[in-house]
């Protein structure tokens, strides 16, 4: 069994990120690992703003959002008795996440994905996808967003023990789920 010592949880504080935090903290608890909460202030996305814009006010707002996001990870980890370290840095999110994971000796990156598809994914890209492609550290992605619920997750997850096929919430087999998973 692979033992984790440091689990990186990049967070943006968005709705649904609590699922990622809970999952990462549970993993850390089971493995006796520490959680590293990281918020990357994407300062590059504001580079095109005119100088007249209140950069100082925007920077303060971004830093407040960052503090709140990593503070929530700290609260969940502390409540679970899991050691936690929080960091806020600036840069391109995917690059900074990969560099932080490698620099700090993290064993796992646990992060959310909004499950975009089609043209949204093509046009917007995905920080999670970029991290998965660039990271030498294993990456665990957890789908988050308003359309993902606890009951939906359980209903669409195949059972390794029984080999059941994934089914949707209406009881029908998911059309793109592929064949059932065979028991080991």
Helix (H, G, I), strand (E, B) or coil at 40: strand
What fold is seen in the domain 6-148? Rossmann fold (3.40.50)
Helices and strands (H, E) in the chain, number of each type: 6, 5
Instruction: Quick: pLDDT tens for 25-40.
Output: 999 999 999 999 999 9
| E-strand stretches of 30-156 | 34-41, 84-90, 108-113, 139-143
Helix (H, G, I), strand (E, B) or coil at 118: helix
Q: Domain boundaries in the chain? A: 6-148
Supply φ then ψ for residue 120, to 5 degrees.
Answer: -60, -45
| E-strand stretches of the chain | 6-10, 34-41, 84-90, 108-113, 139-143
Is the distance from CB of 66 to CB of 39 less than 8 angstroms? yes
Question: What helix, strand, coil percent values describe the chain, rounded to 5?
Answer: 40, 20, 40
Token pair 């069994």: residue: 1
Query: Alpha carbon 43 to chain centroid distance?
Result: 20
- Predicted structure pTM score: 0.73
Helix (H, G, I), strand (E, B) or coil at 52: coil
Is the distance from CB of 182 to CB of 163 less than 8 angstroms? yes
Tens digits of pLDDT across the chain (184 residues): 568 999 999 998 888 889 999 999 999 999 999 999 999 998 766 666 665 555 667 778 888 999 999 999 999 999 999 999 999 999 999 999 999 999 999 999 999 987 555 655 555 558 898 999 999 999 999 988 655 554 444 433 333 343 333 333 344 433 443 333 333 3
């Amino acid at each position: 069994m692979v033992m984790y010592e440091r689990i990186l949880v990049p967070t943006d504080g968005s709705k649904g990120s609590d699922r990622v935090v809970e999952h990462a903290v549970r993993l850390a608890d089971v493995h006796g690992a520490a959680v590293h909460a990281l918020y990357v202030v994407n300062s590059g996305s504001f580079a095109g703003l005119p100088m007249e814009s209140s950069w100082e006010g925007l920077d303060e707002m971004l830093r407040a959002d960052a503090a709140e996001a990593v503070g929530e990870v700290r609260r969940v980890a502390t409540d679970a008795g899991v050691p936690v370290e929080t960091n806020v840095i600036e840069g391109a999110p995917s690059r900074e996440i990969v560099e932080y994971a490698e620099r700090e000796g993290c064993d796992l990156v646990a992060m959310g994905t909004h499950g975009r598809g089609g043209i949204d994914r093509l046009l917007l890209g995905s920080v999670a996808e970029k991290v998965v492609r660039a990271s030498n550290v294993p990456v665990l992605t957890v789908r988050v967003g308003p359309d993902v619920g606890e009951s939906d997750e359980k209903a669409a997850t195949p059972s390794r023990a029984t080999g059941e096929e994934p089914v949707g919430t209406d009881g029908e087999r998911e059309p793109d789920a592929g064949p059932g998973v065979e028991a080991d």
